[in-house]
Structure 1
Amino acid sequence: MAQRVTGWVGWVWFGAFALLTVGLFDLVAGLIAVFNDEKVLAWGGGQGVWVLDISTWGWVHLVLGAILTITGLALFSAAMWARVVAIVVVVVNMVWQFVWLPVTPWWSIASIILGAVVLWALTVHGDEVERAVS
């Protein structure tokens, strides 16, 4: 009996596009920060001030952007390693959004909900992508 492909494959593709888009944005933001490193970012969230070196922030975003972009592209080929990396990235992002919940509540809630849907699609329906591609 052949297993059918459901509409959840679309959510896996959505996750791939999301990773690809965020990865490209991180690459651009990282490049801007690396080449414009004389600025320092300071943010006071009522609990003190965070001071970040823009150059370090830029290199972190460059590396993260490259990982996200490669993972997003690999998800389109239904690579198993890409699903595993994507799941890890989505879980880390969801935890990070919980940390930022007091600062940006609406964005964090939306990101957590969207992450949960993509996580569900990747874990439960990820094997359907292999059938859809082949």
Structure 2
Amino acid sequence: MRVESLFNQAKAMAKGLYFHAMEELGFRPEQAFAYAQDELERLMRKDAPGPNAILQTAIYMEGSRHGLKLGDSLYASDMLDILTLTYEQCSPESLVEAGADGEELKAVQADMETVRNLFLSQRSRVKGFFHGK
């Protein structure tokens, strides 16, 4: 029996949570984002930068597929702070330790770059604190 990688598991969990939130509960993309964050938060650990980055990336990528727009709320600012810190702590080595290697490592890094561009690039110009890897 094949065990799915953390990257594929994270994408599947985020997709399922967004589907449940939007299709079954009638949430808007921003509410679905908060729902997914709350549900997957328990899987994140301070000593696991690679897995945390993979989980956060899956949540934001699925949000982008549903038109997620984070406004200027305190919640959005807090979530972007968490994403920034998560990405700053992540290294290619921590992604490999999380099981992402070869083509999957490239896919994770490409998704992380997409998330940076969609959600952090404007913020870095405004606040000047994000120093992406």
Question: Structure 2-normalised TM-score?
Answer: 0.34
Larger Rg: 1
* Relative contact order, higher structure (CA 8 A, sep 6+): 1
Q: Which structure has greater strand proportion?
A: 1
Question: Structure 1-normalised TM-score?
Answer: 0.34
